[in-house]
Amino acid sequence: MDVYKLVPTAHNEAKPGDIAKTVLMPGDPLRAKFIAENFLENPVCYNTVRGMLGYTGTYKGKKVSVQGSGMGIPSIGIYSYELYNFYDVDKIIRVGSAGAIDESLHVRDLVVAMGACTDSNYAHQYKLPGTYAPIASFNMVADAVDASKKLGIDPKVGNILSSDLFYDDANSLKEWQKMGVLAVEMESAALYMNAARAGKQALCLLTVSDCPFTGEVTTAEERQSSFTDMMKVALEIA
């Protein structure tokens, strides 16, 4: 089947060719707007459906897109699936925020998510005879670490948790901490699974927005516009 016959979709009004081979994907569409307006040359908005803004421009001469994913595994599951399978995107770099689980992390620290544990049932659809371990593309992890060091940034690389729960009644973060998990967010496991299934590439870069165990926190506005280290690294490896 010609995938171009399937676009625009119910969630994305982009036409064939509107979206670059590499897409930066923040959860917040206003962070997508900030990246487009502050880092891309000649950005053009290709999507406004459901307020999930998407833009394409150039960065250092290379065509790059940036699009919001929304909150949670179901939302990024839809948007990243369509980008990989309907819009022929090769790489997605999630640029998101996370809560620290490892107590050595502080607000605005950069985390490179090598793997993504999850309490989601997203992998059930694949009918695998065991537990799937969602991981990033190794070359993208290596490139992100290298780019970070060149920019004078010291990233923390390791495992994260993609949780279906923002308000966790069981307060289970300490249990994940025992297993060396660095931080918690809500999207990356689905992104990694969609990439694997499509034979594409994915990486999640996270900026620590709050530290539940120490009380450190950033504002919503700061999360939209001040996590620029993560944005610069993502653009360097796009």
Closest CA to 34 of 235, 238, 237, 185: 235
d(CA 89, CA 73): 19
d(CA 168, CA 37): 35
Out of 88, 90, 119, 210, the active site residue is 210
Query: Which positions ≥6 away from 220 have C-beta within 8 Å?
Result: none
**Catalytic site residue 164?**
no
Closest CA to 60 of 201, 228, 238, 205: 238
- Which residues belong to the active site? 210
